[in-house]
Amino acid sequence: MTTATSLELPARYGSCPFSPPPAYTDAAREATVTRAVLPDGTACWLVTGYDEVRAVLADTRFSADARTPGFPFLSAGQRELATAKPSFIRMDDPEHARLRRMVSKDFLVKRIEELRPGIQDIVDRAVDRMTEGRTSADLVADFALPVPSLVICLMLGVPYEDHDLFQSLSRTLLDNRTTRPEAERAHAQLMGYLAELAARKRSRPADDILSRLAAREDLTDQETASLGFLLLVTGHESTANMTAVSVLALLQRPDQAGLLRADPGLVRGAVEELLRHLTIIHLGLGRAATETVRVGEVTIPAGDGVICMLSTANRDRQLFGETDDLDLTRDARRHVAFGYGIHQCLGQTLARVELQTVLTTLFRRLPGLRLAVPVDQLAYNQDNIVYGLRALPVTWG
């Protein structure tokens, strides 16, 4: 029921670029809930089992508000980001629901499906730009990052010319090595940028999310900027990382890439399996118990921090079978890569459509796509909240 030694977070990565640190999967094999120690020395619970992860994330007795006593932080920078001027992902209902519902209609399944041709167009142009006059590129900087950035900029009404600014600031904010003053500065800078943009939208509105938010009388300027911040950062960062890691995973598995090339109709299921298999939030979602709650075989006292491990939940063998294997034909739709409970990713349909479009287009248009460097020379963002590749040199000539 309890393990002798506590697992120290974050754990060190192993050799597989597609797996979370082995200590997490080992812990998951031992028990569904484990004791762990945060970098600041505080103890917390690591919830690793699929059922337990879903139970905690669906249970309102676990608060997502980072100001709740016991809330676990992996870094000082994260503490700053989550507590200073939190966006709705760090709030509980009813405030969370009030703010989330202000933007939920922009992410309706139907609405996102309507965007599909526009997304296809953005992806096609990105491939054109990447391949024009050359035979190799960095797939991260030249493709994976621009595509979702362009899409979310269009939806939000953020000028894409400013991408260097918001991409570098959000990288800083998601990096666990960022110090508190650095995070404070980056946060203030991006919030200031968005508040200014929102003010401009108020006087000269356009057909975009920021304009609609800026026009609302029931939102403060700070709330508008904070909503924009959340959509902008989550809207490009996770899809960019997921794109790059997915492409690498498929390049390393020509048999699976071949399946997708032979039958593009597989892509919906393929994206679900990639989401499950790669789950790029390796060290999961933080919550704090506001009451004493029984989770699996463990009693978690009020005031304790909990980290829900999406990456180990998605490797549940009973549910998914041989989970360490990438199998694009697997029914992986029960995965929790987008989280679970009321905070489950609002942009998940957008992410799905982006990934589906990106993968089919890339493998169709560049049949010779392959790594331009040996795989062991690749560098990963192991210190980020969102796992990814720093660069992915590829060639197709």
Partner 1 sequence: MTTTRVPRAPRIPPLPPAEWPPVLRALLADSHRDGPGRENLFGTLAHHPVLAHAWLSLARVLTHEGTLGHRRRELIVLRVAHRLDAPYVHRRHRTPAADAGLTDAEIEATAGDLDSHAWAGEDSDLLEAADLLAFNSPVPDALWGRLARVLGPGQLVELLVLAGQTAAMCATLNTLRTPSDRQPSLVVLLDRERCCSAGQCVGAAPEVFEQDEEEGRVALLVPEPDVRYADEVRFAADLCPSGAITLVDEEEPARP
Instruction: State which residue, 287 or 343, has the beta carbon closest to partner 1.
Output: 343
Instruction: State which residue, 38 or 336, has the beta carbon closest to partner 1.
Output: 336
Instruction: State which residue, 100 or 276, has the beta carbon closest to partner 1.
Output: 100
Instruction: State which residue, 70 or 341, has the beta carbon closest to partner 1.
Output: 341
Burial class (CB in 10 A: 0-12, 13-18, 19+), 63: buried
Dist. CA 325–CA 274, nearest whole Å? 10
283 close to 74: Cβ distance less than 8 angstroms: yes
Burial class (CB in 10 A: 0-12, 13-18, 19+), 235: buried
Instruction: State which residue, 105 or 370, has the beta carbon closest to partner 1.
Output: 105
Instruction: State which residue, 183 or 266, has the beta carbon closest to partner 1.
Output: 266
Q: Least distance to partner 1 from the beta carbon of 148, Å?
A: 18
User: Quick one: DSSP state of residue 344?
Assistant: S
Q: Least distance to partner 1 from the beta carbon of 94, Å?
A: 10
Structure tokens at 221: 């300027």
Q: Least distance to partner 1 from the beta carbon of 16, Å?
A: 28
Dist. CA 371–CA 368, nearest whole Å? 10
Picking from 291, 299, 262, 257, the residue whose alpha carbon sits closest to that of residue 274 is 257
What are the residues whose beta carbons fall under 8 Å from the beta carbon of 70, sequence distance 6 or more? 44, 288, 289, 302, 303, 304, 305
Q: Least distance to partner 1 from the beta carbon of 44, Å?
A: 23
Q: Least distance to partner 1 from the beta carbon of 39, Å?
A: 29
Start-to-end CA distance of the chain, whole Å, equals 56
Dist. CA 306–CA 115, nearest whole Å? 37
Q: Least distance to partner 1 from the beta carbon of 127, Å?
A: 27
Instruction: State which residue, 2 or 344, has the beta carbon closest to partner 1.
Output: 344
Residues that bind partner 1 (CB under 8 A): 57-58, 97, 100-101, 104-105, 107-110, 333-334, 338-346, 348-349
Q: Least distance to partner 1 from the beta carbon of 54, Å?
A: 8
